[in-house]
Amino acid sequence: MVRLNQDKEIVNQIREGLKQTGGYCPCRLERIPENKCMCKEFREQIADPDFEGYCHCLLYYKSKN
């Protein structure tokens, strides 16, 4: 299951960054399709049933359940 980070301050900061970058992960320097939120790296991580953790910018969290 994928959910937003429970820390509302982090969520607000990342969402503001997403607005400023046109939807690209604010933690990534390159503005390429792979870095559009939800980024390719995290989509690949959540495809792994054994992965549990946050995306690179901490906006999303994937649990095994």
What is the number of domains present in the chain? 1
Structural domain that includes position 52: 2-62
Task: Compute the distance between CA of residue 29 and CA of residue 44 in angstroms, rounded to an integer.
Answer: 20
Calculate the CA 35 to chain-centre distance.
9
What's the number of CA atoms in the CB half-sphere (13 Å) around residue 31? 6
Task: Compute the distance between CA of residue 25 and CA of residue 19 in angstroms, rounded to an integer.
Answer: 10
Cβ-proximal residues to 1 (8 Å cutoff; 6+ apart), any chain = 62, 63, 65
User: What integer pLDDT is reported at residue 65 of this predicted model?
Assistant: 67
Write the pLDDT tens digit of every residue in 1-52. 999 999 999 999 999 999 999 999 999 999 999 999 999 999 999 999 999 9
